[in-house]
Amino acid sequence: MAGPLGSEVKCDIMISYNQADLKFTQKLCEKFEEQGWTVWYARPEMEQRQMLSQKGEAILSCKVFVIIMSEATAKDPRCQDELALSYISNSSIFPVGLKKFRDISPLLDGGMKLMLAKINWSFFFKDEHFESNMPALLTSIGKDIKVKSSEEPPEEMTSSSGVVQFHGMNINVSFTDDENDANMTEDEESTDRSASTPRGPPLQKKKTLISYDFWERNFAGKDDVTWSDFKKKFEADYKEKVTRTYEQDRMKTFCNLIYKDIFNLSKSITKVQYDKFCGGNPDADHHRFYHRLEEYAIGYYAMREVFDMESSLRLTTIQKLGSFTFPAVINGLTGMLKDDDPNIRAVATIALAKSGRAQKSTVDRIIGMLEDEDRLVRESACLALGSLKAGGKSEEAVANRWRNDPIKSVREAAEISLRRMGGDLAQRCIYVTDVLSSEMQALKTPMS
């Protein structure tokens, strides 16, 4: 769920668009505002710096993310970044097509195609569609806003069973049936897909008396199989489907994700590992593993896109993602500790402390940032360790920075951190500080 994240910008709807589609965006915004919804989009009169700052906040706080899909949007890396971030924040996503899907699809890069190929689209590539298709779009968006407005934000945004996960991260995606997509005619494509297919969890095939899935079809009675055999069977079952839905090289991506991420480079794949990833099969879905993999791949791409951003939106993103405790976010923030930009390293250090809690691995990584060449990063590391109150070697590391850092502001940050930690070593350091401060003040006082 996209909920408040301490953002200054809060809205019901965020509209992502390319400048070439500004007039349509303004017209659509008017329709949304007529419903009483608050809408944010990058307005031409906004100052550039303000717009970039607010954009990330709007995506993370909105209930519904609407992306205007045109040929220009498909080639716009900023729109790709915004779409990826909307997945991370679990907004409801509504693509609005200004061209036919088959015209836009070839222009999408692999990740964007993966995210958008299955979501319900609304199409407005003819003038008359604005009036004919708008009611269905407004109805669908209105339902999602109502549901999200009534939901209570969870105390911790953790994964729950039975929900698609990406390293523990819940990903809300609306899917349409593959066969319906493949057989869609030109006339059908001009209608609002969201009107005919409800948004929500992935659609399942009708239940039958046959409940076997990929493993049972191919490895019935076996507790484990070699990775080589697993890969061969997967390719035999799904290569044609993947190529038809996405593209040829996406099959390689899927296999790499299975081997490296899901099964952790295991040469032998066990039924226990397989069942854990599938999370059971309550709906007797014959393709449970594939559907889970497909959605995992969407989450994987979204996370990579968010943390690979090249714009200033990236800084806001990292700050806000500190409010999440997903392992995927922690992994992404960890990668940012090696960024070339010291501002990114500093913000990622603080955000990691917020999202990673006092886990040993998190503490160790932040301790390492005390040796960074940039003084702002070292300050951030001191303050982050103070907020974690981890004690032990983190106290020793901060105390060493308090004694030896050549930059005064870093030593001051270390002192603040030690006061927060409150351990034995920290208290001794603070005592020394207080004594020295008192003696120095006495020396400065003129003798009578």
Q: Answer for the pair 231, 210: CB distance below 8 angstroms, yes or no.
A: no
Q: Provide the 8-state DSSP code for 44.
A: T
Q: Is the dihedral of CA 353, 384, 52, 77 positive or negative?
A: negative
Q: Tokens at residue 318, please?
A: 């990292």
229 shares a domain with 188: no
- Say what the pLDDT of residue 4 is: 34
Determine the angle formed by the axes of helices 375-388 and 393-404, rounding to 10 degrees: 140
What CATH number has the domain bearing residue 149? 3.40.50.10140
Domain membership of residue 297 (yes or no) is no
45 shares a domain with 166: yes
396/393 Cα distance (integer angstroms): 5
189 shares a domain with 218: no
258 shares a domain with 137: no
Domain membership of residue 293 (yes or no) is no
3 state DSSP class of 122: strand
Q: Tokens at residue 39, please?
A: 């809408």
Task: Count CB atoms within 10 A of the CB of residue 186.
Answer: 8
375 shares a domain with 236: no
231 shares a domain with 101: no
- Say what the pLDDT of residue 185 is: 35
What CATH number has the domain bearing residue 377? 1.25.10.10
DSSP lists the bridge partners of residue 166 as: 169
Q: Tokens at residue 59, please?
A: 């995506």
175 shares a domain with 116: yes
In what helix (H) or strand (E) does residue 13 lie, and over which residues does it extend? Answer: strand 13-16
Phi first, then psi: give them for residue 141, nearest 5 degrees: -65, -40
Domain membership of residue 311 (yes or no) is no
Domain membership of residue 182 (yes or no) is yes
Q: Which of 164, 196, 228 is the last residue of a domain?
A: 196
Place of tokens 């297919």: 197
Q: Is 389 left (phi over 0), alpha (psi -120 to 50) or beta?
A: left
Place of tokens 């099969």: 281
- Using alpha carbons only, how large is the chain's radius of gyration in Å? 26
228 shares a domain with 168: no
Q: Answer for the pair 110, 305: CB distance below 8 angstroms, yes or no.
A: no
- Say what the pLDDT of residue 178 is: 34
Which among 352, 287, 358, 293 is positioned nearest to 323, based on CA atoms?
Answer: 352
225 shares a domain with 174: no
Q: Is 221 left (phi over 0), alpha (psi -120 to 50) or beta?
A: left
Tally the domains of the chain: 3
Q: Tokens at residue 126, please?
A: 């003819």
373 shares a domain with 406: yes
Q: Answer for the pair 280, 211: CB distance below 8 angstroms, yes or no.
A: no
DSSP lists the bridge partners of residue 39 as: 13
- Say what the pLDDT of residue 189 is: 41
Place of tokens 């004919």: 132
Domain membership of residue 425 (yes or no) is yes
370 shares a domain with 275: no
149/143 Cα distance (integer angstroms): 10
Domain with 429 in it: 337-442
Domain membership of residue 202 (yes or no) is no
Domain membership of residue 436 (yes or no) is yes
* Tens digits of residue pLDDT in 226-254: 999 999 999 999 988 888 777 667 788 88
Q: Answer for the pair 378, 407: CB distance below 8 angstroms, yes or no.
A: yes
CA 370 to chain centroid, in Å, comes to 28
- Say what the pLDDT of residue 179 is: 33
347 shares a domain with 262: no
Q: Which of 255, 280, 305 is the last residue of a domain?
A: 280
- pLDDT tens, position by position, for the chain (448 residues)? 333 333 467 899 999 999 999 999 999 999 999 999 999 999 999 888 778 778 888 887 889 999 999 999 998 988 888 888 887 777 889 999 999 988 988 888 777 777 786 678 999 999 899 999 999 999 999 999 998 887 654 443 333 332 333 333 333 322 233 333 333 333 434 444 333 333 333 334 444 434 578 999 999 999 999 999 999 999 999 988 888 777 667 788 888 888 887 888 889 999 998 988 888 777 778 888 998 888 778 777 776 666 665 544 556 666 666 555 555 567 777 877 887 888 778 888 888 887 766 678 888 999 999 999 999 899 989 988 888 887 778 888 988 888 889 998 898 888 888 888 876 666 776 666 666 666 666 666 666 5
Q: Provide the 8-state DSSP code for 202.
A: P
Length of the chain: 448
- Rounded to two decimals, the pTM is 0.60
Q: Answer for the pair 124, 24: CB distance below 8 angstroms, yes or no.
A: yes
Which residue pairs, CB below 8 angstroms and at least 24 apart, start in 285-292? 285/204, 285/205, 285/213, 286/205, 286/210, 286/212, 286/213, 286/217, 287/205, 287/213, 287/214, 288/213, 288/214, 289/213, 289/214, 289/215, 290/214, 290/237, 290/238, 290/241, 291/202, 292/164
89/101 Cα distance (integer angstroms): 25
* N-to-C CA span, the chain: 68
Domain membership of residue 7 (yes or no) is no
210/190 Cα distance (integer angstroms): 36
